[in-house]
């Protein structure tokens, strides 16, 4: 698959400056966090257990997906309006013929046999019982969607027929074919037909089909329940940064992003850098997935690793060889319960969402894996010597353009982006094909749309 075109460049210096690939971002540990916690692992301390090598990016995503598949499956029955964005656990089987009776496809005349036809008084409207049987040579007015009278052999559209001055005789302006403009009973499906398989995503169109087929409720996979814990003494929830305090960039963003990934966000809590408070929050959460921000490195207030050890959690991924975001982690903290620790820097946190949270949530929700595709780069992208890089890009004329402002603490680039380019260690040349991770709101086939 090739990149989708998103329009041509506007040619302005300002636009080109935004779209140009920036110089290499400084090493992530040199960038102060903007959203809670340390940016990168510091030197080993007696607070931490020996750290395993960082996982390869593809391997980390595979581990997260397997963790979601291994979790106990659930199903519930919900009203149609509550099923949007969820996945069917049972096939959608027609409970009735569609249509359930012969109906008129057009406004016009129901006629019986060859014309001309004697016109009956009255007419047939949608939602009303059909009149008595039409005899050969008779016609009656009929509305779109109305039930076809017994004996009728065709419908003539209003614009294709004319009546005499007394409106007692009807003639057609063209040849009338048997069955024309009649939707026969069962044309779309018969009762018992499988309309959609289990695992189908419930879209607005699926809701309409289910209603037409006779459903009031659907059996679906519940949305995974997610709780967000935003960590950090330095975070403000309003106003301008001051006195060493900074605005929380992740709290306002993560809930909407996770909903776009199919989650039911049950709450966002802000915690100070307090190990006891974090332990209590993690162990008492009723969520299927706990998301933490910051505190995943080895600094003096990075409490996530010690808390996970106290909670008896199993670390499934402890660091990923990706920039930005390599101190991310994934842990199992109970049966069917997981924690994804995101770095505190905003773009690094986005990297963690798409690396670990997205595949885990996708499998928990039973959603299909997005179709992967590549696109050629317009410009060269400098790479990390050993780690994968995730670089914000926009689609332009069948290529993707790497965006400026792609440091781990920056959101300016990702806010303008269509997706992230996956750049292998060592970088990529102009024209080279790279994998693209679409953002949830820019996917052509994201399923359920944004924020469902």
Residues in the chain: 452
> Mean of the pLDDT values across residues 402-421?
92
241 in the same domain as 310: yes
- CB under 8 Å to 208, separation ≥6 — which residues? none
> Residue 432 in contact with residue 376, Cβ under 8 Å?
yes
Within-domain flag for 81: yes
Helix (H) or strand (E) holding 323: strand 322-323
CATH number, domain with residue 131 = 2.170.190.11
Q: Is residue 179 part of a domain?
A: yes
- Percent with pLDDT over 70 in the chain: 86
Which pLDDT does position 289 carry in this prediction?
Answer: 98
Confidence of residue 68 (pLDDT cuts 50, 70, 90): very high
Q: What is the separation, in whole angstroms, between the first and last Cα of the chain?
A: 26
Chain-centroid distance of CA 283 in Å reads 29
pLDDT, average across residues 421-435:
96
Tell me, yes or no, whether 335 lies in a domain: yes
If you average pLDDT over residues 88-108, what whole number do you get? Answer: 96
Q: State whether 293 and 383 are in the same domain.
A: no
* Average pLDDT of the residues in 129-142: 89
Residues 6 or more apart whose CB falls under 8 angstroms from that of 58 comprise none
CATH of the domain at 398: 2.40.340.10
Consecutive H or E run containing 155: strand 154-157
- Domain annotation covers residue 294: yes
Q: Give the mean pLDDT of the chain.
A: 86
- Domain CATH number, residue 309: 3.40.980.10
Which pLDDT score, from 0 to 100, does residue 24 have? 44
What distances in angstroms separate CA 103 from CA 61, 114, 267, one per listed residue?
A: 52, 20, 49
* Residue 96 DSSP SS3: coil
At 139-184, the pLDDT tens digits run: 999 999 999 999 999 999 999 998 887 778 999 989 999 999 999 9
Number of domains in the chain: 4
Neighbours of 383 (CB within 10 A): 18
Give the separation between CA 92 and CA 89, rounded to whole angstroms.
9
Please state the rounded mean pLDDT for residues 267-296: 93
Q: How far is CA 447 from the centre of its chain?
A: 5
Same-domain status, 208 and 236? no
State the pLDDT at residue 356.
Answer: 98
Of the pLDDT bands very low, low, confident and very high (cuts 50, 70, 90), residue 16 is very low
Domain containing residue 354? 31-74+222-365
Phi, psi (deg, nearest 5) at residue 305: -60, -50
Neighbours of 393 (CB within 10 A): 32
Which tokens in the block code for residue 97?
């013929």
Q: Is residue 430 part of a domain?
A: yes
Q: Is residue 317 part of a domain?
A: yes
pLDDT one-digit tens code per residue, 183-241 = 999 999 999 999 999 999 999 999 999 999 999 999 999 999 999 999 887 777 778 98
Top pLDDT among 43 and 219 is at 219
Q: Are both 227 and 333 inside the same structural domain? A: yes
Q: How confident is the model at residue 389 (pLDDT cuts 50, 70, 90)?
A: very high
State whether 389 and 351 are in the same domain: no
Residues 165 and 237 in one domain: no
Q: Do 302 and 383 fall into the same domain?
A: no
More confident residue, 446 or 349: 349
Distance CA 423, CA 377 (A): 10
Packing angle, helices 358-365 and 57-70, rounded to 10:
30
| Tokens linked to 326 | 């390599």
Separation of alpha carbons 395 and 378, rounded Å: 10
Q: Quote the CA–CA distance of 137 and 111 in Å, as a whole number.
A: 7
pLDDT at site 49:
53
138 Cβ contact list (under 8 Å, min separation 6): 111, 112, 117, 118, 119, 120, 151
d(CA 201, CA 377): 32
| pLDDT of 115 above 60 | yes
Are 93 and 194 a contacting pair, CB within 8 Å?
Answer: yes
Please, what sign has the CA dihedral across residues 362, 363, 365, 371? Answer: positive
Please state, for a pLDDT cut of 90, what percent of the chain lies above it.
Answer: 69
Judge whether 135 lies within some domain: yes
My answer on whether 164 and 64 are in the same domain is no
Radius of gyration over alpha carbons of the chain, in Å?
30
- Would you state the structure tokens that stand for residue 241, as one six-digit string? 């940064």
**Res. 17 pLDDT band, cuts 50 70 90:** low
Distance CA 48, CA 284 (A): 23
383 and 351 co-located in one domain: no
199 in Cβ contact with 173 (< 8 Å)? no
Last residue of a domain, one of 130, 156, 183: 183
**Same domain (yes/no): 215, 331:** no
Same domain, 383 and 336: no
pLDDT bracket for residue 315 (50, 70, 90): very high
Look at residue 291 in the predicted model and tell me its pLDDT: 97
Examine residue 452 and state whether it is found in any structural domain, yes or no. no
Q: What confidence tens digit (pLDDT) does each residue in 334-378 have?
A: 898 999 999 999 999 999 999 999 999 999 999 988 888 999 999
CA 16, CA 5: separation in Å to the nearest integer? Answer: 17
Based on the fold, state whether residues 349 and 322 are members of the same structural domain: yes
Partners of 264 in the β-ladder: 225
- pLDDT bin (cut points 50, 70, 90) of residue 248 is confident
CB 235 within 8 A of CB 268: no
The contacts of residue 59 (CB under 8 Å, 6+ apart) are none
- Answer with the one of 343, 365, 387 that is the final residue of a domain: 365
**Under a CB-based contact definition with an 8 Å cutoff, are residues 89 and 206 in contact?**
no
Per-residue pLDDT, averaged over 375-400, amounts to 95
Pick from 301, 332, 365: which residue ends a domain? 365
pLDDT of residue 233: 76
């Amino acid at each position: 698959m090739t990149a989708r075109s998103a329009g041509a460049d506007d040619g302005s210096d300002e636009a080109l400056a935004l779209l140009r690939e920036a110089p290499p971002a400084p090493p992530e540990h040199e960038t102060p966090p903007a959203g809670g916690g340390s940016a990168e692992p510091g030197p080993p301390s007696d607070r931490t257990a020996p750290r395993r090598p960082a996982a390869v990016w593809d391997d980390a995503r595979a581990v997260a997906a397997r963790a979601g598949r291994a979790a106990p499956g659930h199903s519930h029955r919900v009203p149609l309006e509550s099923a949007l964005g969820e996945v069917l656990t049972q096939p959608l089987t027609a409970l009735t013929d569609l249509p359930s009776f012969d109906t008129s496809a057009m406004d016009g005349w129901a006629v019986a046999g060859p014309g001309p036809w004697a016109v009956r008084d009255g007419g047939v409207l949608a939602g009303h019982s059909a009149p008595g049987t039409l005899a050969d040579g008779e016609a009656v007015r009929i509305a779109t969607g109305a039930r076809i009278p017994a004996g009728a052999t065709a419908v003539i559209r209003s614009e294709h027929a004319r009546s005499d001055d007394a409106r007692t005789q009807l003639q057609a302006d063209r040849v009338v074919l048997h069955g024309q403009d009649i939707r026969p009973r069962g044309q779309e499906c018969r009762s018992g037909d499988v309309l959609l398989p289990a695992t189908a995503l419930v879209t607005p169109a699926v809701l309409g089909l289910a209603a037409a087929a006779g459903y009031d409720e659907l059996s679906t996979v519940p949305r995974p329940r997610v709780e967000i814990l935003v960590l950090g003494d330095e975070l403000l929830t309003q106003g301008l940064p001051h006195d060493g305090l900074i605005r929380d960039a992740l709290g306002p963003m993560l809930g909407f992003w996770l909903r776009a990934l199919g989650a039911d966000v049950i709450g966002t809590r802000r915690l100070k850098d307090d190990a006891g408070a974090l332990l209590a929050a993690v162990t008492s959460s009723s969520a299927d997935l706990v998301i933490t921000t910051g505190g995943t490195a080895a600094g003096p207030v990075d409490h996530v690793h010690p808390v996970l050890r106290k909670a008896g959690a199993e670390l499934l991924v402890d660091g990923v060889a990706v920039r930005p975001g390599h101190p991310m982690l994934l842990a199992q903290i109970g049966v069917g319960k997981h924690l994804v620790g995101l770095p505190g820097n905003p773009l690094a946190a986005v990297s963690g969402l798409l690396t670990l949270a997205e595949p885990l949530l996708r499998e928990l929700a039973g959603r299909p894996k997005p179709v992967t595709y590549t696109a050629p780069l317009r410009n060269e992208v400098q790479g990390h010597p050993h780690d994968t890089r995730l670089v914000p890009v926009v689609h332009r004329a069948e290529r993707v353009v790497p965006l400026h402002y792609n440091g781990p603490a920056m959101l300016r680039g990702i806010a303008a982006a269509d997706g992230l380019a996956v750049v292998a260690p060592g970088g990529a040349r102009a024209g080279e094909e790279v994998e693209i991770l679409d953002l949830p709101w820019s996917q052509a086939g994201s399923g359920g749309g944004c924020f469902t």
